[in-house]
Copies of this chain bind each other. A is one copy, B any other.
């Protein structure tokens, strides 16, 4: 362990100016099953029927996860639509009143104040109550699915703050979407439902106790994330692939099937309730929060803009980490952005002279006439004076000629900077929709320009298709997901013929973008100093062996160990490992959390002899303590007790994953490393350039052999 390289980034004043800094406040999930004697006994006692019941409960939980996630999505959608509707109605009335008599500055102020008010509420709850609910939550969920435990990320409080926060920020007119937070919400729902209790509410339903361990919980969380994607985009298969692409370190066939079930239920629930809300029960035409409508075919370009977005946002985030870490400052920044967004939008609309005739089908939701002739509306306003979802849909589907090129260029430019400024504010907000909006605008612009230079371009005529391709490219350039994003876009457009062009565009965007900078989520993961391991080791480090990447000497215990030694090792901050090999005379692995429970219950050899009546420790005791194990400091061990002995045999995992010292890194994809050897000893590797910085593994200990 090199303290100079690994340091705690919990202190907000420290900023990671160096890529070698990784925070020690993050633990990894204990993905490896602790197959100790207690566990094996329980398994042996369990009948075939017992296993079936477990399997059925897993399905029931997944169904519940899907249902609740769909319900939450439905609530968010209805709340946003109504709040935004009221806001736009008030502002529109005001603008109409003042267009004739002059004094539009009052309208501007009204709009800015309304926006700032909404955003203030959203920012205050996030900054003061639950900072973990900031942002889209996708980076955190990505870390969790890959085996890094981010503190407080799946708490009930986070969920509540997230939901309220996203409603406020979208209604507040920020350049944000509500799709990312849905994914986080789904994950929290899953973590809560699957445990059958709420630690925050101090309520234990005494069900699903078998699932109270990291392995099972992570699996359910992946189902929750999938249900979130499914509800957000009406894309159940896309949801499954998202969970897979982002959390592929562990894979299980039955799990996929359950994830798919949760996704299906989620989109179906949302669809059902929204249909009822829209008074068209049985119509089932709104499978997702955003629905692109149906498209009837195309090819295109790439993601330099995505890379630029990421670079700008990277600098901005570093600036924020350095200077904007007071909650008050954060709230004020968010309000500032809201007011600026309103002002810029207003200015753009005010100075625009792009008037379009109002169609008979009234496809605009809040058409602004302003200085246009009667029966016409301001085209810039369809882009700015609208929720981002509706703007995207207008760009995809409005007939050719609805926007003039100047409007689109100005819109693209301003919205790009607004969205870039917005992401990373202390509000809960997603980056999907703004990215799609930017991409759709320049895609449509490109389509218009192409149509103007090809006079007979009948098949090039629909700029909406370019908008779709542009949106995919921009989003791909920013988030760098490929497989799942293709499927999500295909499902959201409902047309498989777009699959190939969208995939090619996403691939190009990813390759071009990766040449310059990482994806936005990866940047934010890195800026939070999370020890995230990618699925594969860098190709050029394939021949590194386990011996070379492990810390030495290994901190380990004897099978029967003195309590004092255990307490000392656990208290020692320089060796805060999470798992310890047990070496003499048998070889096994014991976790920090298990030791804590043992110490708390004072399972000492001497006491067992004296107190014959002492209850034998059950698996239940470990499950009840999960997941918030007390720190070692809170457990009082007297000086006498320090001299007692503890027998670890029954509690240690006698069959941990072990690898020979000569094993190369290639054989162990890093993600698997992370999940297989999570709680073992961390080390720091100076030899490789990028991702192989943090690695935990229990090696063949010489004494074990």
Contacts and interface: CB of A to CB of B under 8 A. Distances in A.
A491 B482 CA distance: 19
A680 interface: no
Contacts of A284: 297, 497
Interface in A511-549: 535-536, 539-540, 542-543
A271 interface: yes
A251 interface: yes
Interface in A237-268: 237, 241, 244-245, 248, 251-254, 256-257, 260-261, 264-265, 267-268
Interface in A246-304: 248, 251-254, 256-257, 260-261, 264-265, 267-268, 271, 282, 284, 287, 297
B267 A496 contact: yes
A654 interface: yes
A86 interface: no
Which of A245, A297, A503, A535 has most B Cβ within 10 Å? A503
Interface residues of A, number: 65
A667 interface: yes
A251 B244 CA distance: 10
A666 B43 CA distance: 11
Contacts of A669: 252
Contact of A664 (B282, B655, B664): B655
Q: Indicate the member of A40, A539, A669 with the most B CB atoms within 10 Å.
A: A539
Interface string A466-496: 0000000000000000110011001100111
A442 B208 CA distance: 41
A500 interface: yes
A248 B250 CA distance: 12
A282 B540 contact: no
Contacts of A236: 496, 499
Contact of A655 (B248, B271, B655, B667): B667
Most buried by B among A491, A494, A499: A499
B536 A260 contact: no
Interface in A287-330: 287, 297
A503 B264 contact: yes
A500 B543 contact: no
A287 to B, nearest CB: 6
Nearest to A256: B483
A40 to B, nearest CB: 6
A662 B667 contact: no
Given A48-B539, A496-B236, A503 B260 contact: yes
A210 interface: no
A51 B536 CA distance: 13
Interface in A340-372: none
A663 interface: yes
A244 B669 CA distance: 19
A51 B667 contact: no
Contacts of A483: 256-257, 260
B256 A43 contact: no
A549 to B, nearest CB: 14
B40 A543 contact: yes
A261 B40 contact: no
Contact of A256 (B244, B268, B271, B654): B244
A459 B283 CA distance: 11
A705 interface: yes
B268 A500 contact: yes
A278 B642 CA distance: 85
Nearest to A503: B264
A12 interface: no
A151 interface: no
A287 B496 contact: yes
Contacts of A497: 271, 284, 287
A44 interface: yes
A27 interface: no
A245 B253 contact: yes
Nearest to A51: B539
Contacts of A173: none
Contacts of A265: 500
Residue in A244, A497, A536, A662 with the greatest tally of chain B CB atoms within 10 Å? A497
A172 interface: no
A297 B284 CA distance: 8
Contacts of A587: 660
Contact of A496 (B44, B494, B536): B494
Interface in A19-43: 33, 35, 40, 43
Interface in A444-464: 459
Given A282-B459, A540-B51, A40 B664 contact: yes
Contacts of A261: 503
A284 B495 CA distance: 11
Contacts of A487: 237
Nearest to A587: B660
A87 to B, nearest CB: 32
A54 to B, nearest CB: 9
A536 B254 contact: yes
A234 interface: yes
B496 A234 contact: yes
A33 B297 contact: no
B482 A257 contact: yes
Given A40-B664, A254-B536, A284-B297, 17 more contacts: A33-B666, A43-B543, A48-B539, A51-B540, A234-B496, A235-B496, A244-B256, A245-B256, A257-B482, A260-B483, A260-B503, A267-B496, A268-B500, A271-B497, A287-B497, A491-B496, A658-B660
5 contacts: A48-B539, A251-B251, A260-B503, A271-B497, A287-B497
